[in-house]
Structure 1
């Protein structure tokens, strides 16, 4: 429930004068009525005058396909580079870093290794041209997990695949994010197997990396990662790895959607002696409280939801900066802004969570940042019409429809295309 104090600190959303007719659906997907809704003008979002300093924040960005390309399941990804890179520049203009070639960019769900390499090189060059922050995922998805078997040969193949991708990211000038590997989850038989692979991969790093722990809600093929289905046992192995390579680890990104686990891990990292290790929240459900933090610290951010809400996220982070500089309401205002987007985040990342990319691309399309509502691999079909309509309602409710008139036209076109008429 929103408190009176939080309500006072929230940006005021003004009416836009634009109306749209939105259907309502029952549980079976049948239209049960129509809502005539006046859309809000976008929130009073601001861009920072300088670097954001109180938190380190990355938005994990998606890719936009060529509208006429054969972007169907199994086909090579053909990317609209102009739209894809322009989206990254919007994120950078709002003071956030870009986490590229991650699961938001459909690694393992449509973006093949050839397209991934080009994405890493192009995005890194664009980041360098404006002095912006970029980190890119290095994984093993050039390997078919079915082609590797448990044992030394399989572990060696996974290690070599990681090394190849680390070199691509480093050669492009980006920070490395060591992604979780489906192939490693298949071939590893113990925590020691994970340690041996990560030991070899981290030895290749020329600057501190981000380690990524992705939960099964995002990728079911990662069950048992770190050698156990028990979260506490896996956490112990993960912490041992960080301790062994602390000088090579800038931070860890944890995407388990478990706020209490993340807070415990954050405190364990803070207690380590030696170079500090950041906790980059990957919790797209609970990010407001985790980024706001408590008396013992806060999480930084590496989030897919930030690719959808980057104007609000930036404004919130600017408020946290103001709080650090002495504004008594700054931290509370930043928390309130993030909390106002939480329902949208939970909807976009609702089960099956791995289809969240569809919602990120849908909002990008509504806001005019890509010509068509498409994703590589045909993944725009990953969510129902009812889900998308509710997403539009929630985005409007937190001021994230940045051009209400365009959003209304595109919603009308979507509804007609899908057989819903006034």
Structure 2
């Protein structure tokens, strides 16, 4: 699998019909060994892996469950945005939010990108429910990931660069070239998929799942099992493979998209052939795979650390306070008395409307007016007109509440 360093988008991953003798044709699973790390390499990354697991477990206890549920929805939107951006088909987060409310652009190209974004979000929800007690690193799950995404798109929205309509979940039936990489022959794909299942399919501890997910991410992409959509399906699989650990509160997609050049370079480096007698015993480079795994684990570490810092109570208290103070200077109906109940709701969960009024210390009419304004601005959310209120995460607040989650929305007025 080879990517251009110049501008690594899906447009550069040109898929062409091939059956020619130029280049090496892969036809046997031994040709993509090694598929896992050596004992020495495992020992070297073990401290990092343990740190990621500990931090992720701690993160799943941060804030109240209703707040974490809201954050999971936000992460799904983030995954859709970032995974599609890697493919050169992203739309602004504001347009994703509009599409979630069934508000699609009148511009055909923009509306298509919105539909792709929504399909990714809906596919991710379905796949998270599909995980169960089995590993998400099986080829059956990978095929389901491809199907879940593409079956949510109309045929005109799933046309490859060479004009073919992509069939959801269909393994490719012809040989292809991807840049300078020639993936395994179509006839040999069943054998490669069987080998992927043998090595990556069994369930493992969280530590080993992290490492296995990293290895599988590259080797699946190298095999290129689908005519198109391999990157999206692989990233969906990786997200779901780590979901039981992350509980959907973080995902590698954000980090991969924010370091796209390094992402492609690390993938390409892991494509390389064995570099000599000291580079393992497989056909591909053991050192290249190890460097990819370290890159992927570093991405995971960075994402867990980022979300941990965002959910730390003292930090969120300061950012909520800054948001309300800023908004109060723009709109007199936003009052600083909202700070305490908002921080409380973030950390401890929903409260009744009467409890909200009491926590503000305002009179009944003033408290009711403030509550109505926060609900209108979606900083508070309620399922019924008189029900309890929980913490909301509107897009135009993210630049202050979760800075750098989407750099593209940090410029929106808070």
TM-score (norm 2): 0.29
> Which structure would you say has the larger Rg?
2
Q: Relative to total residues, which structure has the larger strand share, 1 or 2? A: 1
Q: Relative to total residues, which structure has the larger helix share, 1 or 2? A: 2
TM-score (norm 1): 0.29
